[in-house]
Amino acid sequence: MENRLIKVLLIEDDSAQAKLAQLILSKAEGIKFNVQWADTLSKGLVRLDAGDIDLVLLDLNLPDSKGMDSFEKIMAQATNVPVIIVTGMDDESLAVQAVKAGAQDYIIKGQVNSVHLVRSIRYAMLRKQAEEMLRSTNNDLETRVIERTEELSRANDLLKREIAERKWTEEQLMQSAFYDTLTGLPNRALLMDRLRILIRHAGRREDYLFAVLFLDLDRFKVINDSLGHIYGDQLLIAIARRLESCVRPGDTVARFGGDEFVILLDEIKDVNDATIISERIENEIKLPFTLESGRQVFTSVSIGIALSDIGYVRPEDILRDADTAMYRAKALGKARHVVFDTSMHSYALALLHLEAELRRAVENKEFLLHYQPILSLDIEGITGVEALLRWQHPERGLIYPKEFIPVAEETGLIVPIGEWVLRTACMQQKEWRDAGLPSLNMAVNLSARQFEHKNLTGLIRDVLRETGGFPQDLTLEITESIAMKDIDFSVKTLKELRAMGIKISIDDFGTGYSSLAYLQNFPISNLKIEQSFVKDIQSESDKSLRIIAAIIAMAGTLKLNVIAEGVETEDQLEFLHSQGCVEIQGNLFSQPMIASDITKLVGKKRYELGLVGKRQRYG
């Protein structure tokens, strides 16, 4: 400091005091001072703004500023420049206040000499330098601590990842994040954690009861596939918000995965509390959802309920039972809730065993086809057959579709099974044709999974080409509910099939909700009256008789052929024919039979079919 010129800014309105200070500093030994004087605060601030001032000597009471306001303005202008307060005896308390606020020192006018003033300036500058060095050191240390902390954090994170990868990566990652990124709901990891707590609580208190609700959206896949994943995600978010509005503050709504949600109902009185909330959820979910584009979509929910009073010790077990009850709700028609009982678990195990056997059956080709004739009363002969699937189980013998088709649908096995049925039926049809039999129309049922297959028409075209089948001799049957599931998709797909020359039948007609307007849009050839209506003819059910008459009349208006299924008595046959139905199918004439028996049947004369008397009676 002694080797350089010290620039001092003296802000003092008293010229005598200013000259005195300049004189004292000019005679200082060992240090050179350049004193610049400003008689107002505003002038002093302008000089400070110009820079290169080493120290400020400040009188607090100036013409344009008084007291601490003067000091605060100087400090705001030059935070790194040391300030010494110059004050009178009367203002010493104000000077002390300024020192507490950041001034380096104060000196009292009239008590200043060369030694005192120079020493005060020297110490002020040294203290300021020390403060700056300490601040710089602290900043450096803080920066190093932050950098080191970040390095340690990165090393720690790396170590965690390495441990997780060596052990159980997927589970560790799942448990490290407790909320679903899409809906903001607790995810499976957090759900399981809370469920463990509830189970432990139930184990300690006999009077404590909680419930698990397992929810699955009905038809979500159709919405997601037809509108796209963006709209599907919007729907899931909206559903999450509605579910939250249906439960109590202490309950948990979690997204389990996909379109599945789980709700934990904490401390309920009895099963009625769970069913009341389930009904509230069902009613809320049935209301329309308006997505961001303004499009409205509708859905419903199937709910399985499991209560803690069974005495669960593992979260997986109560979730399994709630899930089982949910699937029972779906099997009963969806859009409802079912409370779990222990018999359902045995049933679920049986289904699991059936699925395993069904997969083996696909690999071992344990399936076969039976064919049931379709007869025309007008020509007294067989016009076609319906291919009916059977499972030749190696231990249980012949198993009918109603026992295994639902499992095949649920697991997706229906797709390879359905392709096998179509291919086998077309090959059999060609075999009959090559044997010289009259042309027989082959009716093959399509499941919902098959009909929704993206390349259905391409698959059928390939099968016909590979088997030598004629499209005009093939009829594909879909149920009314499948056709009405997605009208636009159904119309598009059916038109593609019809353009190939394939005929379309609506199976089980009368059980759904088709209208004349919808049917006019479908390029169909046949309506097949559902068997339950035909069966009720025998009991003379007035409702069934009117439905059958209406279906036949509607088909006549649309110029569609009508086939009655499940005809087993002559009374049924008589009524159907009296209403104008001329094609029938049922055990009255023939049960489903193997292909070789069809060959023998077609080869018989008309009078041998047992239709001659009926021809005279109804013709």
Select the more confidently predicted residue: 610 or 208.
Answer: 208
- Is 60 exceeded by the pLDDT of residue 316? yes
For domain 177-340, is the CATH number 3.20.20.80? Answer: no
Task: Describe the strand order of the beta sheet including 337-339 as a list of residue ranges.
Answer: 252-257, 260-265, 211-218, 300-307, 337-339
Nearest CA-CA partner of 295 in 235, 242, 229, 221: 235
Q: How many other CB atoms sit within 10 Å of the CB of residue 60?
A: 25
What is the model's pLDDT at position 607? 46
Tokens 């679903």 found at: 180
Question: What is the CATH code of the structural domain delimited by 353-618?
Answer: 3.20.20.450
DSSP for 160-182 reads: HHHHHHHS-HHHHHHHH--B-TT
- Which band of pLDDT confidence, cut at 50, 70 and 90, is reported for residue 512? low
What Cα–Cα distance (Å) separates residue 449 from each residue in 210, 230, 387, 417, 555?
37, 23, 18, 11, 27
What is the model's pLDDT at position 495? 93
CA count, 13 A, side-chain hemisphere, 526: 27
The fold for domain 5-134 equals Rossmann fold (3.40.50)
Task: State pLDDT tens for residues 404-453.
Answer: 998 898 888 999 999 999 999 999 999 999 988 888 999 999 998 899 88
- Is 80 exceeded by the pLDDT of residue 339? yes
- Mean of the pLDDT values across residues 283-310? 92
**C-alpha to C-alpha distance for 309 and 323, rounded to whole angstroms:** 17
What one-character DSSP code corresponds to residue 260? E
User: Bridge-partner residues for 254, per DSSP?
Assistant: 262
What is the model's pLDDT at position 612? 38
Residue 310: which residues within 8 A CB-CB, separation 6 or more? 318, 321, 342
What Cα–Cα distance (Å) separates residue 246 from each residue in 93, 181, 195, 565?
68, 21, 20, 46
Percent pLDDT > 70 in the chain is 93
What is the model's pLDDT at position 610? 53
Q: What phi, psi does 504 have (nearest 5°)?
A: -120, 130
Task: State pLDDT tens for residues 473-494.
Answer: 999 999 888 888 788 888 899 9
- Is 60 exceeded by the pLDDT of residue 471? yes
- Check: CB of residue 533 under 8 Å from CB of residue 548: yes
What is the model's pLDDT at position 173? 63
Task: State pLDDT tens for residues 586-601.
Answer: 998 889 999 999 888 8
- Is 60 exceeded by the pLDDT of residue 609? no
Task: State pLDDT tens for residues 32-87.
Answer: 888 899 999 999 899 998 888 889 999 988 999 998 999 999 888 888 889 998 88
Lowest mean pLDDT among 220-229, 266-275, 353-362, 363-372: 220-229
What is the model's pLDDT at position 79? 81
- Check: CB of residue 485 under 8 Å from CB of residue 512: no
| Composition of the chain by helix, strand, coil, percent to 5 | 55, 20, 25
What is the model's pLDDT at position 170? 62
DSSP for 382-435 reads: EEEEEEEEEEEETTTEEE-HHHHHHHHHHHTTHHHHHHHHHHHHHHHHHHHHHT
What is the model's pLDDT at position 163? 72
Q: For strand 300-307 and strand 337-339, is the pairing parallel, antiparallel, or unpaired?
A: parallel
What is the model's pLDDT at position 608? 54
Tokens 């007035």 found at: 542
3-state DSSP assignment of residue 84: strand
What is the model's pLDDT at position 253? 97
- Is 60 exceeded by the pLDDT of residue 603? no
What is the model's pLDDT at position 87? 85
What is the model's pLDDT at position 365? 92
**C-alpha to C-alpha distance for 437 and 154, rounded to whole angstroms:** 79
Select the more confidently predicted residue: 410 or 515.
Answer: 410
Round the average pLDDT of the chain to a whole number and report it.
Answer: 87
Q: Which of 166-175, 337-346, 456-465, 525-534 has the highest mean pLDDT?
A: 456-465
- Mean of the pLDDT values across residues 357-382? 90
Domain ranges of the chain: 5-134, 177-340, 353-618
